[in-house]
Structure 1
Amino acid sequence: MSADAKELKKELAKRKRLAVEIASEIHDIVEDTLWTDYVKMPELSEKLRVAVEEANTFKTENGL
């Protein structure tokens, strides 16, 4: 595997990790503080949508 391919995979992993971190925040709210922090859900949901979309676009554009 070339150095460029390794870097692309590393970048994709970074983008996926960001999406998982946002999903984890959503999960924590649902599990622990839904009744007080529910107002954060729309913003986090949008951030998650964007993060997943960007990761998928990066993957497609780079043939990963």
Structure 2
Amino acid sequence: MTKEEIANLEKAVSKAKFKMSQAASELHDLIEDRLLQEFENIPPFAETSYKAALEWDSLRKKLEEAKKD
């Protein structure tokens, strides 16, 4: 992988981490602030957080492998 490709992958990892953090924050806010009124929304918020974490983890692992080469 070229240095440019690694740099692009680093940016993708950073963006995915930000997206994951936003999703986790939204889930946290739901639970902390609106749980009694919106508890039925927990599954979709949790699913969004989980998918964002999977995306970040996949990109992070790909970056680790690219840096080994």
CA RMSD between the two structures:
1.4
Q: Which amino acid counterpart does residue 30 of structure 1 have in structure 2?
A: I
Q: What is the aligned partner in structure 1 of residue 4 from structure 2?
A: 3
The total of aligned residue pairs comes to 63
Distance 1:61 1:3 in 2: 15
Runs of 5+ unmatched residues, structure 2: none
Structure with the greater alpha carbon radius of gyration:
2
Unpaired runs of 5+ residues, structure 1, are none
User: 2:45, 2:8 → 1: CA distance?
Assistant: 28
Give the structure-2-normalised TM-score.
0.78
The sequence identity of aligned pairs, in percent, is 25
